[in-house]
Amino acid sequence: MGVFSLGKTANERRSQSWQRAEEIQPHRHTILTAKCFEEEEKSLIHERIQSIGISQSYSITSKPIDSQHINAEFIPFTPVVESESRLGRAAHGFYYYFYEGQLVYEMVILGKGRSAWQITRSSPSGITKELVSEHTHTTLLVPVKIEDADPAPQHLFYRRKKLTNDELAEINAAWLDKNATKIDVGALVSACSEPLLARENHTRRDARGKRHPYGYDKTRRYS
In a domain, 207, yes or no: no
User: Does some domain include residue 59?
Assistant: yes
pLDDT band at 203 (very low <50, low <70, confident <90, very high): low
Range of the structural domain that residue 191 is part of: 76-195+212-222
Last residue of a domain, one of 42, 71, 100: 71
- Would the pLDDT of 196 be above 80? no
The residues facing 160 across adjacent strands are none
Q: Taking the CB of residue 163, how many other CB atoms lie within 10 A of it?
A: 18
Distance between CA atoms of residues 110 and 99, nearest Å: 24
The answer to whether residue 181 sits within a structural domain is yes
Q: Are residues 23 and 82 both part of a single domain?
A: no
> Domain boundary at 21, 50, 71, which?
71
Please check whether residue 200 lies inside any domain of the structure.
no
Q: Are strands 102-111 and 94-99 parallel, antiparallel or unpaired?
A: antiparallel
Same-domain check for residues 57 and 162 = no
Counting the structural domains of the chain, the total is 2
Do 175 and 98 share a structural domain? yes
- The pTM of this model reads 0.84
Q: Are 80 and 170 found together in one domain? A: yes
Closest CA to 191 of 86, 75, 32, 21: 75
User: Would residue 12 count as lying in a domain?
Assistant: yes
Same domain, 31 and 108: no
**Structure confidence at residue 94 as a pLDDT band (50, 70, 90):** very high
Whether residue 43 sits in one domain with residue 82: no
pLDDT at 65: 83
Over the range 183-195, which residues count as b (16 or more CB within 10 Å of their CB) and which as e? bebeebeebbeee
Q: Are residues 84 and 182 in the same domain?
A: yes
Considering the domain boundaries, does residue 86 fall inside one?
yes
In degrees, rounded to 5, the angle at the alpha carbon of residue 106 between the alpha carbons of residues 188 and 71 is: 40
Domain match, 26 and 130 both = no
Peptide bond into 26 cis (omega under 30): yes
pLDDT averaged over the chain? 87
pLDDT at 207: 40
Bridge-partner residues for 117, per DSSP? Answer: 109, 137
- Checking if the pLDDT of 213 tops 60, the result is no
Do 82 and 181 belong to one domain?
yes
Write down the pLDDT at residue 208.
42
Is residue 83 domain-shared with residue 172, that is, in the same domain? yes
Tell whether the model's pLDDT for residue 211 goes beyond 50. Answer: no
Q: Do 22 and 46 lie in a common domain?
A: yes
Q: Is 63 in the same domain as 119?
A: no
Angstrom distance (rounded) from CA 100 to CA 117 = 23
Residue % of the chain over a pLDDT of 70:
87
